[in-house]
Amino acid sequence: MTLSTISVADMHCASCATKIQGALRGLPGVTATYVNTARRQVLVEHADDADPVDVLERIEALGFHPNLAGSDTTSRGQRELLKRLGVAGLAMMQVMMFAIAMYAGAFEGMDEVYRRLLEYASLAFCIPVVGYAAMPFFRNALGAWKQGLNMDVPIALAIAAAFLVSLRHTLSGSGEVYYDSVVMFTFLLLSARYIDDRLKARFEGTNATLAALPDRALLVRDGATEPAPLAAIEPGSLVWVEQGNQVPLDGEVTEGEALLDESVLTGEAVWVRRRPGEAVFAGTVNRGAGFQIRTTSAFDATRIAGIADLANRAQAEKPRIAQLADRVAGVFVPGVLTLAAATWLGWQLVDPSQAFVAALTVLVVSCPCALSLATPAAITAAMTRLRQRGIVLTRSEALEQVAAVDAALLDKTGTLTVHDPVLVGMERLEGTELGDDELLDLAAALQRHANHPLARAFPEPRRARVDQVQVVPGAGVEGRYGERRVRIGHGGFCGAAERHDEHAVFLSLDGVPVARFRISDPLRTDAAAAVEGLKQAGIRLTMLSGDSPERCAELARLLDIDFAARQAPETKLEVTRDLQARGHRVLVVGDGINDVPALAAADVSATVLESSHLVKSKADVLLLGRRLGALVELVVTGRRARRIVRENLAWALAYNLTAIPLAALGLMPPWVAALGMAGSSVLVMLNATRLLRNPRSRSAAAAAAPPVDPTVPPLAAVQTG
């Protein structure tokens, strides 16, 4: 399957999104569509042999102007909008001066000839506003017969009605003119839309970085380099990466040593070294000397491309609260038109001279733009902030659910600790003529042939040499050291009484165990701070591990958390479901296959990027960096996003419920309505940008925390033998 991103610059409301999604449903080759109103994008998942042009034509048939993402349509659209805004602004300044003169003349007395002159001058400045600056509103409204009613319909009706009535009164020489309201309304609407576009462009910045890979790379052939298109480079090719350039494709270092800035992937501004044989990833920046890689992926199958797809898909999905807002906005436009007509009829019975102004004000003030932008703006801002910190959501629903989390189950190995085993001690078991240094050197010589993670804990061998080496899967390594048979591996393989210990490796000579090496996974550097942050957020923590009770207890005491040892996949799942049955919202964090059942059952699940594809397929959140503190950022941002969504929805509803009755009762002039409508849209966008800033409080997590029920006992520590 292929995921194509289509930009629809003239998609402004929930009604537009609904029409597009409905039109693409059932299109041959299309398996799923995700519409993001806030970013004005449509993500289409389709078969590899399906033509995206068919999707573009289907959207274009609705009256929209779609473009495949990657073109310069966004910047061109902003430049065009800025031109229209400039025309409306210049005209508004002139017409408002004429309007002030006419208002003053109404009180002080003005000759008819001067009044007529000011009206015609206002008309002259208003024509380019209606004919050019306001054209996007008319174009979108005219497309409503294909798309269905959208939010530009009442806007276009208000502008057209006010202008035509004013034109009629100007030509007849009698009646009120509303040129000032027309130009002000247009200018404010265009200002709100321009600010909206600029804020969305800011939200786009992070994921745009993911797509900003070079289109060519230096391909190495016969010892020489030559530029080649990225799409033409196959896996297994040799590519040279110059200093200061981005790594163009995923691969492994074959020559030289890489010093890389991986912040685009992990969100951590720390340079790392990658030596020959180690993996490097597309998008990272070479901060050292040039080096050579052997590519391991095609240009469209890199890790960074997968992350971008996940992020875009999650941002396009709509959580339940956004779907509710869309349904409200979808029925709002017909309601506005009905209310405007009812207002006109009502005033015809009371005071016909006020009927047009009141109906016009209702059309102007009641555009539900703020309501439809309230949720997607906040969600987009929150997901952008998380992405900047190396956190990628695979579904947007997780952002809403993580805000309610009050219990977390953490795996030990690979989650609280890192997969960088460290040799912490050696114990001699039997008498042997070899000294400690010789035993360690012999063990290192054997382990260099092993592919087990624990083998990385041993240093490079210095003098010892082993022959006839054979790797025994699931057991260890066997070889010949002079005339003696040597083995390294678990206890049963080496003849030790301790047959299995995941943190012990034995060395034997001729079947007799002579040394026991103790290996430990180091605790993540920020594990203690992350645990404390989650506690302050009101989250009850439990460590689940398949390790021994002794090792779990030692780590649990260090972090001051509950634990459960000797946990199988089935028992991890039982613990998760038990907490949920007691009314908790559970976050599960793990990276192993044994964590998959619990990850699938959790309310929110998180894993690290290095975990297997199966584990990542069950996770709602990917942690790209090595910081466990990203979990605190996730919870705090989720709770801030929930609060801001509620604030935006409350403001949008309060504004409409207050302003519409005032407009219908004739207590609000059209220019005030224009100011209120445009201002409400800008306000919800600016409120959403607060998510891009750091919380002002030092204890933001604690401030956002729900109260902990003291009557609910913590999960008891389980120490089964």
Q: What angle do CA 149, 150, 155 make, to 5 degrees?
A: 110
d(CA 528, CA 410): 13
The answer for residues whose C-beta is within 8 angstroms of residue 274's C-beta and 6 or more apart is 253, 257, 258, 260, 280
d(CA 504, CA 517): 6
Q: What secondary structure letter does DSSP report for 523?
A: B
Do 563 and 552 touch, CB atoms closer than 8 A? yes
pLDDT at 721: 28
d(CA 363, CA 365): 6
Other beta carbons within 10 angstroms of residue 493's beta carbon come to 21
Name the β-bridge partners of 3. Answer: 45
CA–CA distances in Å: residue 623 to residues 203, 269, 392, 602, 610: 20, 15, 7, 17, 9
Q: What secondary structure letter does DSSP report for 582?
A: T
d(CA 5, CA 82): 25
Strands 391-393 and 279-280: unpaired
pLDDT at 708: 41
Q: Where are the beta strands (DSSP E) in 275-380?
A: 279-280, 285-286, 291-295
pLDDT at 480: 92
Do 488 and 513 touch, CB atoms closer than 8 A? no
d(CA 384, CA 100): 45
- Tokens at residue 494, please? 């080496």
Do 628 and 415 touch, CB atoms closer than 8 A? yes
Residue (of 321, 404, 384) closest to 704 by Cα position:
404
d(CA 701, CA 402): 13
d(CA 238, CA 423): 35
Do 623 and 655 touch, CB atoms closer than 8 A? no
pLDDT at 91: 93
Other beta carbons within 10 angstroms of residue 438's beta carbon come to 15
Residue (of 397, 389, 310) closest to 638 by Cα position:
397
Other beta carbons within 10 angstroms of residue 483's beta carbon come to 6
Residue 125: burial class (beta carbons within 10 Å; 0-12, 13-18, 19+): buried
- Mutual angle of helices 527-536 and 630-664, in 10-degree steps: 30
Strands 467-472 and 476-481: antiparallel
SS (H, E, C) 114-178: HHHHHHHHHHHHHHHHHHHHCHHHHHHHHCHHHHCCCCHHHHHHHHHHHHHHHHHHHHHCCCCCC
d(CA 237, CA 479): 35
Question: Is the backbone of residue 95 left (phi > 0), alpha (psi -120 to 50) or beta?
Answer: alpha
Which residue ranges of the chain lie beneath pLDDT 70? 1-3, 9-10, 12-15, 36-39, 48-49, 68-77, 105-109, 144-150, 196, 199-213, 263-270, 307-330, 367-372, 419, 431, 451-453, 474, 499-502, 610, 612-614, 695-721
Q: Judge if pTM exceeds 0.85.
A: no
Contacts for 556-561 with beta carbons within 8 Å, 24 or more apart?
Answer: 556/717, 558/523, 558/528, 559/416, 559/527, 559/528, 559/531, 560/531, 561/410, 561/531
